[in-house]
A and B are shown apart, each in its own frame.
Chain A
Amino acid sequence: MSDDGAAIAVQEDGGTLKFGPERPLVLDSGLKIEGLEVAYKTYGALNADRSNAVLVTHALTGDQYVASRHPVTGKPGWWDRVVGPGLPLDPQRYFIICANVVGGCMGTTGPSSVNPATGKPYGLAFPVITIADMVRAQAMLVEALGIEQLFCVVGGSMGGMQVLQWAADYPERIFSAIVIASAARHSAQNIAFHEVGRQAIMADPDWKDGGYGKKRPEKGLAVARMAAHITYLSEAALQRKFGRELQRDGLSWGFDADFQVESYLRHQGTSFVDRFDANSYLYITRAMDYFDLAAAHGGVLANALTKARDVRFCVLSFTSDWLYPTKENRHIVRALLAAGARASFVEIESDKGHDAFLLDEPEMAATLRGFLSAAGQARGLK
């Protein structure tokens, strides 16, 4: 049960699932992770015929705390506008699962976990992982929870990439899929921004080739977050929020944060380092850069999705998102249609940029609600 006094009590559960050495996670790179741990949260209850499970996949810096208070920051869940009583993903109707991705730093095995071979944190000894590896670990979790078919897999940004990977790798294990503000491959611009972030981390002397201890490369990680954060917003949103407003009266004639936008970005950077690990940032951004779903299928995205013909898809994009713009999302839709899948698509009008999917967007909520309830009816959910 939720401890923050919500009006409606929601059954909340979770923990860390540990797989024995007989069940290693076999990676795309050919390497293996033995003793895999997957940290997850669940909301609501699985129904008798196990048909109401929804897997929420998180974005680059997200975690399993989709609708509960974050243990480090104390902030509400990252998708508390979508997951909760009376919301499109209602725990009174669905059994909602969210797991920290492989490579993450909130309990699932990642570069800050202890390497069983050395007894020390992996650091750069952690193998390079991919989106498909993340999904493979999720599939192990879902199976361990006794769920043969998920009612829906839903995620935004990198979460959307995982949804597409689910559709390609486990089409028979999903009834419906929702891809929000995402892409089927990383563009040159996407890779370029990630490289700036990685270089900022690696240029921090405290990074120590990934072998840092208690003293972490906070400055580098903060700069990486600052650069990335700009890509999550839009020019219009930045202008509306900050314009050229100053922090104090008059300029400092120096390099303090004179402008409110500077102070905002610095805050984004410094608060991020409290809850995120620099090496995880390197590994997860790499996984995103390596993502190109079509590549493994002769360069034809539709070929990756032909087996998902019976899955109901809903793809959403936002007009002001320049990180994963409408064009990339339409590319997914076109491939789904070519594959003969049931694909719906909506471009939502918003000036909030890529982050719109995390914010209060009534049109998105209405679309999710409508799509899910119609799919629920088709699946025979009460």
Chain B
Amino acid sequence: MTVREDFKEILRLVRPGSRVLDVGCGEGDLLELLTREKQVDGRGLELEAANVSTCLAKGLTVVQGDADRDLDHFPSRAFDYAILSQTLQATRNPRHVLSELLRIADKAVVSFPNFGHWRVRLGLLIDGRMPETKALPEPWWSTPNIHLCTLADFNALCDDLGLRVEACSALAGSRSARPIHPAKPLENLRAETVLFFLSQRTEKTSEPAQPRDDLFGG
């Protein structure tokens, strides 16, 4: 089975044996992967009852609920990581959801389609129609996405909420993730989907950022 590129990226970021909350965990594919590969203590939040049942049969621990309403079920600092994959743009209050993720967990992994991507801009500019792209496949009248944003928008919100961007990468289909600088205007044009790795800015990082001299070494 091939592993989705965004899952690979998350797998790379998550520390072994950590506590992980997957918000919108679906049938639990990512949680299973993280449990198997990184021995995490994983929990999920999922909207669809049938998906929750599927997760339970896999031995996963999942609460049925909605990112907008039910993140308040989870106590503060209960997790090392909270993951929100391709869902933020479909929430009613993304700002609240984002701050909830970082109340519950020390670090958040958030991915979303970049509305600043050149195809989106071109669609709107040339055709004057709401864009339909690989990352945004549905027409405006049936899309669940009600709060679309660009890479630059999201970066500004993180700034506003006092969040530190620990890492950021661009994803496109099956191509492997590419580390990017979230403030670069060119990346806002190039990135189809982006994945942010966030933490609270006030929090002390366990290892102070130091230039690594072994960068090209072993």
CA A367 – CA B46 in complex, angstroms? 14
* A361-381 interface with B by 8 A CB criterion: 363, 366-367, 369-371, 373-375, 377-378
B75 interfacial contact with A, CB 8 Å = yes
Docked-complex contact B61 and A344, CB < 8 angstroms: yes
| Interchain nearest-CB distance for A177 vs B (Å) | 13
CA A35 – CA B56 in complex, angstroms? 43
Docked-complex contact A344 and B63, CB < 8 angstroms: yes
Instruction: Give the residues in chain A near B63, CB-CB below 8 Å.
Output: 333, 337, 343-345
Docked-complex contact B59 and A377, CB < 8 angstroms: yes
Docked-complex contact B57 and A333, CB < 8 angstroms: no
Docked-complex contact A347 and B49, CB < 8 angstroms: yes
* A349-369 interface with B by 8 A CB criterion: 349, 363, 366-367, 369
Docked-complex contact B73 and A344, CB < 8 angstroms: no
Q: Chain A, 334-352, contact with B by CB distance < 8 Å: what is the 0/1 string?
A: 1001101011111111000
Docked-complex contact A366 and B61, CB < 8 angstroms: no
| Interchain nearest-CB distance for B136 vs A (Å) | 30
A266 interfacial contact with B, CB 8 Å = no
Docked-complex contact B74 and A337, CB < 8 angstroms: yes
Counting chain B CB atoms within 10 Å of each CB, which of A363, A367, A375 scores highest?
Answer: A367
Instruction: Give the residues in chain A near B58, CB-CB below 8 Å.
Output: 370, 374
CA A370 – CA B58 in complex, angstroms? 7
Instruction: Give the residues in chain A near B73, CB-CB below 8 Å.
Output: 330, 333-334, 337
CA A243 – CA B61 in complex, angstroms? 41
Docked-complex contact A363 and B49, CB < 8 angstroms: yes
Instruction: Give the residues in chain A near B65, CB-CB below 8 Å.
Output: 330, 345
| Interchain nearest-CB distance for B40 vs A (Å) | 13
Instruction: Give the residues in chain B near A39, CB-CB below 8 Å.
Output: none
Docked-complex contact A374 and B57, CB < 8 angstroms: yes
* B56-103 interface with A by 8 A CB criterion: 56-65, 70, 72-75, 78
A135 interfacial contact with B, CB 8 Å = no
Instruction: Give the residues in chain B near A330, CB-CB below 8 Å.
Output: 65, 70, 73
| Interchain nearest-CB distance for B128 vs A (Å) | 41
B176 interfacial contact with A, CB 8 Å = no
Docked-complex contact A349 and B53, CB < 8 angstroms: no
The interface on chain A, measured as residues whose beta carbon lies within 8 A of the other chain's beta carbons, has a size of 27
Cross-chain pair count, CB within 8 angstroms? 68
Nearest to A338 among chain B residues (CB) is B75
A288 interfacial contact with B, CB 8 Å = no
A309 interfacial contact with B, CB 8 Å = no
Report which of B50, B61, B70 forms a contact with A343, defined as CB distance below 8 A.
Answer: B61
Docked-complex contact A344 and B57, CB < 8 angstroms: no
B52 interfacial contact with A, CB 8 Å = yes
Report which of A314, A337, A349 forms a contact with B49, defined as CB distance below 8 A.
Answer: A349
Nearest to A330 among chain B residues (CB) is B73
B54 interfacial contact with A, CB 8 Å = yes
Instruction: Give the residues in chain A near B70, CB-CB below 8 Å.
Output: 330
Q: Chain A, 167-181, contact with B by CB distance < 8 Å: what is the 0/1 string?
A: 000000000000000
CA A363 – CA B64 in complex, angstroms? 14
Docked-complex contact A346 and B64, CB < 8 angstroms: yes
| Interchain nearest-CB distance for B157 vs A (Å) | 27
Docked-complex contact A346 and B61, CB < 8 angstroms: no
Docked-complex contact A370 and B56, CB < 8 angstroms: yes
A312 interfacial contact with B, CB 8 Å = yes
Instruction: Give the residues in chain B near A375, CB-CB below 8 Å.
Output: 59
CA A378 – CA B60 in complex, angstroms? 11
Instruction: Give the residues in chain B near A314, CB-CB below 8 Å.
Output: 56
Q: Chain A, 227-269, contact with B by CB distance < 8 Å: what is the 0/1 string?
A: 0000000000000000000000000000000000000000000
CA A189 – CA B78 in complex, angstroms? 34
Docked-complex contact A363 and B59, CB < 8 angstroms: no
Docked-complex contact A371 and B56, CB < 8 angstroms: yes
Docked-complex contact B52 and A346, CB < 8 angstroms: yes
Instruction: Give the residues in chain A near B55, CB-CB below 8 Å.
Output: 344
Instruction: Give the residues in chain B near A378, CB-CB below 8 Å.
Output: 59
| Interchain nearest-CB distance for B71 vs A (Å) | 11
Instruction: Give the residues in chain A near B72, CB-CB below 8 Å.
Output: 334
Counting chain B CB atoms within 10 Å of each CB, which of A348, A363, A369, A370 scores highest?
Answer: A370
| Interchain nearest-CB distance for A316 vs B (Å) | 10
Docked-complex contact B49 and A348, CB < 8 angstroms: yes
Offer 8 A-B interface pairs, CB within 8 angstroms, sorted by A.
A312-B61, A314-B56, A340-B78, A346-B52, A347-B64, A367-B53, A374-B58, A375-B59
4 smallest beta-carbon distances between A and B, as pairs: A370-B57, A374-B59, A370-B56, A345-B63
Given contacts A333-B73, A337-B75, A344-B55, 8 further A-B contacts (CB under 8 A): A340-B75, A343-B61, A345-B52, A345-B64, A346-B52, A348-B49, A370-B56, A378-B59
A interface residues with partner B (beta carbon < 8 Å): 312, 314, 330, 333-334, 337-338, 340, 342-349, 363, 366-367, 369-371, 373-375, 377-378
